[in-house]
Structure 1
Amino acid sequence: MNWRNLILAGLTGAAIGYVVTKKQTESITPEKALKLLKEKASEHYSITGAWIIVKPENAKVHGLSYSVYKGGFSHSIAGSEAAHYEFQIDAGTGTLLNLVQK
């Protein structure tokens, strides 16, 4: 292997490392987080309204630190009053961390 190939391989590896690192530190948008939640929750709840705070916050969930989006939704059951839920979604992955009925 000559020097040119070695340098090219090193630069390629550095570029791939940069892209992977950059991708891991990016957050999903709050709109996407809300969409993911509504898609999953609609399997069990009849959602009539939903909201999300667009600025991620630092929070501890089960003793672990996360950057989260907070939000909520209303669930209607025919013939009864709407139930309200609040949630926390991991801003990095979109994973639902906490769901509580209020």
Structure 2
Amino acid sequence: MKLKDFLAGALTGIAAAIIVNQAIEKVNPNTPAEDVLKAVKEAFKKEGPIDGSWIVMKPEPFTNNVLSMEVYRGGISRIKNGELEQYEFAANAETGTVVELIKK
């Protein structure tokens, strides 16, 4: 096998791998909402296991008498001391910071 043929094959393989990787990222990117939900779940898991979670994928306007921002709304449920606890949250769409947490 000639060195030129080997290098051509290796470069073609590398180029194909890069193109496939970029195509996969376009088809299944992590959305900011998923990142926010993951962070909230990790915070709740520090206190114990969670049973379920949800998040609205489209940000919505939020005002708390002082600040106005876009937020993702979501919820977490868990069993604590034999009872179901449910929480709803609003997290800043840009930073992921939880700006509201309500126990239902």
Counterpart code for 1:47: I
* Unmatched tracts of structure 1, length 5 or more: 1-27
Which digits, 9 at most, give the CA deviation of each residue in 1:4-59, with x for residues without a partner? xxxxxxxxxxxxxxxxxxxxxxxx61100100111112112431100000000001
Q: How far, CA to CA, are the matches of 2:48 and 2:93 in structure 1?
A: 23
Q: CA RMSD in A?
A: 1.5
- Residue matched to 1:39: 42
Q: Which has the higher contact order (CA 8 A, sep 6+)?
A: 1
Structure 1 segments of 4+ aligned residues over 4 angstroms from their partners:
none
- Residue matched to 2:51: 48
Residue among 94, 97, 103 paired with 1:95: 97
Give % identity.
Answer: 39
Residue among 60, 67, 70 paired with 2:63: 60
- Residue matched to 1:84: 86
**How far is the alpha carbon of 1:66 from its aligned partner?**
1.0
Q: How far, CA to CA, are the matches of 2:55 and 2:48 in structure 1?
A: 17
* Unmatched tracts of structure 2, length 5 or more: 1-30
Greater C-alpha radius of gyration:
2
Which digits, 9 at most, give the CA deviation of each residue in 1:47-83, with x for residues without a partner? 11000000000011352101000010102124x2211
Counterpart code for 1:32: D
